[in-house]
Structure 1
């Protein structure tokens, strides 16, 4: 796998530089060596640009399957596993294994393997840049500092994604003895892998990397756009890392620094569809290039009601009924889901679809189909799209009813506010947590009263609820449940047991190791340092 990763690196650079006439004058178009890819700061920047694209794109790299790669897939996948995004029907089958907990518990799963493979590609690419610069006589210019800062941030982010997914949660486990993931920090032959080590070993490296990233950013050139990692995004990654291990002070401090300069959105922005990284809150996001879109492997293919793909036409995604019904009338976020949308799909998993005769919200055919028609027209879907109660319209395409690309958002200032609030609540800083929570609560709900949450327990319940509503569909529910040690129980959510099977109810992560992703069987077979006895 290590060899495949490095081959992928050169293939990626070739793809990115193949349009450069100057480069092609000096390098054969059928072969680009790793040395050539790392031969100048400009070429290293091209590697980073490849990683920016890989964050969202389907990835035709050796060893990976294009249809299940990038955050475009894994953001909604993690929310499906975590129980946040509820599917209304089997649809075309995509993510059915995620819902039923048959994907991450199967060591031969393609999705699981691709998650592992791609994150290690980020690691390998970052290693190449870091080692090239630090082992050679480079002058540390603003450009070089930016390259190093982004490389360290990517490596920290990739290892954090891996260890929080393929190992037991830091807070609920014993990080000094729990098995982590292999730490690979070198580049070049013989491309050896490594043993798993411990969760603490991995976190030590992650924290070292993100701290170096922040340090290099202090004297770095500014990013060109939000696809590139900035110092704010690095602080955001640092806040996430600290939150996941219970380092509350660092989490609060870093989250506040991350959101500086990224004001909370108002109502019109929040309801505009989350389809561009130009929104004021977006700290880090993927600007999807029209000519390099994912189409039917895109983020909006999975989450946007009006996207013209089979995943959505028969399977609009739902919010939990319990969660939605707790949204106050004074909170404009209640407009992001439609609790009274008619259930027009005869294959709906709750067995209430296809007619006003089975839908309890309607008692005549005209009202039933008039409601459907109004939704189709309002949100720009096609006449082939079905609707369902509690369906999501939070995510809207810029060109609804098409398969056109839209941006993918990785980090927003609202998340940082909620990290700050949670961290301060966990430190029992009641007034500090109230003030942080008020930044978001007052922006979303005209009747929000921070003084209603006067204890640590009350604050944490409200913060959890705010995260579940505010960040719905943005990929946080799986890891949140691990950090909070919360079980899954879909009894009153609107999910169907027939569709969810094992995923309908799962005990809390501290006593249920099924929350931990299996190590891919391909890795165990190829890595002499990992045995079957070390499988999760």
Structure 2
């Protein structure tokens, strides 16, 4: 962190200002921009903040030295949660980006892997720039104003977001460990060179800092100017709802049920649940009514074959998808009632057209689906799927493939927005928190709006015990948030392992998944914890090999 972070500052400042403020360059060459100039006033501070927004989805090497073209930050980190948890299932071998290596649990368990290194440095990159903005905004040199409070609120929220991500990946889960003594991650407050780190703080200390920052963010936003009005691009700006949403996530992960429930209610205010047409439209834009926060990915800087949709959407025109359509756990899909329109995005009866499918059942000669009695019917079904969903000739199909995530322009490599937070999640957080408090009636009322919006026959009253309610909440989370990256943290919070073989099987191939086909629950298996980058241990005098997870 020490070696790289001191350079990252100037890269972000240069990017933020050169991309947003042409006049500034008339008097300041790019290589002469100083932190003092960048933080001189609200306008320039907003440019720094815009650089952080952009850094959420840009290829990492464009944002800081030491990055790599194979990772485009949250394009990779968001779907990684479901890739690791066995929710986003691979149907065949495919190349590129280590996505199969992640799925097989051979990446986050390796301290020299790109994933361990780049997730760490990206989150600390966010923390550094949040520190810059917080320290400047609170040192008394600038006149307090609604605009300054808005910047401060976003900076506090970003710092909390980054620390929550770090502690949930590089430390033992709060509810399954001993947070007062379990090692967390280093706390960094400095915004001055040489940006020296501290030793690992405890998990509890990190959570305390996250809560402090989110409460400070909410207070700042209450005095701020508010998120600007406009299109989907405005939702890249964090706001008070985002802060409440992160507070709800944090509190849920540590078992602070009342805070989680209360914050979730606040987070979803003003973001009504979307209807069937929007839910089935592909989750490719922040303009959906219930999107609280997301990156508006601009066409001018697309990530192409490094994008979220390249990794997870079956409409993307890339080899990762064409050769390896992503499928859902058939046990989950089969359990969705026919009266629930979300079932429409999964195709249990899609023909297996891939001769290289991991289950060895690809092609007409291996067909076992009684729906297709002739090769002509088999091929006609494939052609129909391609026509309906805009696939190109090279796309394979596979039973239980999904079309939840669909591009605006299917069959292309066009960029689409990356959604981070929706109001649906907040209903589910409130319901889970109340169920865990034993408030079954409260949990029923929290879950009712979402369940009834999605399933015309939904009856929440049948879930009248804590166990049945929690089972239903888990089911609803897996369906509603499928593909949005929550599987990893959910399984850690619930202390659940991965078993692709149980109850008739998920549809995953044991040959392809190898050791990740069955994974013991997190409380008994420290492989759920990401390795600290070896490069960080080598560069940081406050960390030693004894600090390795």
1:452-463 maps to which residues of 2 (within 5 A)? 452-463=462-473
- Give the Cα separation in 2 of the matches to 1:477 and 1:289: 28
Tell me how far 1:66 sits from its aligned partner. Answer: 2.9
Corresponding position: 1:214 with 2:218: yes
Tell me how far 1:190 sits from its aligned partner. Answer: 2.6
Tell me how far 1:187 sits from its aligned partner. Answer: 1.4
Corresponding position: 1:344 with 2:353: yes
1:75-154 maps to which residues of 2 (within 5 A)? 75-93=78-96, 94-154=98-158
Bigger drift between 37-46 and 443-452 goes to 37-46
Tell me how far 1:282 sits from its aligned partner. Answer: 0.3
1:112-511 maps to which residues of 2 (within 5 A)? 112-224=116-228, 225-361=234-370, 362-491=372-501, 492-511=505-524
- Give the Cα separation in 2 of the matches to 1:204 and 1:91: 42
- Alpha-carbon displacement from aligned partner over 1:349-399 (angstroms, at most 9, x marks no partner): 111012243444533211111000000000001011000000010011111
- Alpha-carbon displacement from aligned partner over 1:254-290 (angstroms, at most 9, x marks no partner): 0000001111111111001111100011000111100
- Alpha-carbon displacement from aligned partner over 1:114-140 (angstroms, at most 9, x marks no partner): 000000000000001111121242221
- Alpha-carbon displacement from aligned partner over 1:399-457 (angstroms, at most 9, x marks no partner): 11111111110000000000000000001111110011111100000110010100111
- Give the Cα separation in 1 of the matches to 2:156 and 2:520: 36
Where do 5+ consecutive residues of structure 2 fail to align?
229-233
- Give the Cα separation in 2 of the matches to 1:467 and 1:216: 31
Contact 1:150 1:229 in 2 (8 A): yes
CA 1:359–1:10 in 2, change beyond 3 Å: closer, same or farther?
farther
After the TM superposition, list the runs of 4 or more consecutive aligned residues in structure 1 that deviate by more than 4 angstroms: none
- Give the Cα separation in 1 of the matches to 2:22 and 2:444: 57
Please name the residue that 1:58 is paired with: 59
- Give the Cα separation in 1 of the matches to 2:179 and 2:211: 14
- Give the Cα separation in 1 of the matches to 2:66 and 2:120: 11
- Give the Cα separation in 1 of the matches to 2:410 and 2:197: 45
Tell me how far 1:531 sits from its aligned partner. Answer: 1.3
Tell me how far 1:489 sits from its aligned partner. Answer: 0.1
Please name the residue that 2:547 is paired with: 534
CA 1:30–1:197 in 2, change beyond 3 Å: closer, same or farther?
closer
Contact 1:58 1:69 in 2 (8 A): yes
Please name the residue that 2:231 is paired with: none
CA 1:359–1:112 in 2, change beyond 3 Å: closer, same or farther?
farther
Contact 1:353 1:359 in 2 (8 A): no
Where do 5+ consecutive residues of structure 1 fail to align?
none
Contact 1:105 1:517 in 2 (8 A): yes
Normalized against structure 2, the TM-score is what?
0.96
Tell me how large the CA RMSD over aligned residues is.
Answer: 1.1
- Give the Cα separation in 1 of the matches to 2:22 and 2:55: 24
Normalized against structure 1, the TM-score is what?
0.98
Tell me how far 1:32 sits from its aligned partner. Answer: 1.6
- Give the Cα separation in 1 of the matches to 2:369 and 2:456: 32
- Give the Cα separation in 1 of the matches to 2:258 and 2:463: 21
Contact 2:348 2:399 in 1 (8 A): yes
Please name the residue that 1:46 is paired with: 47
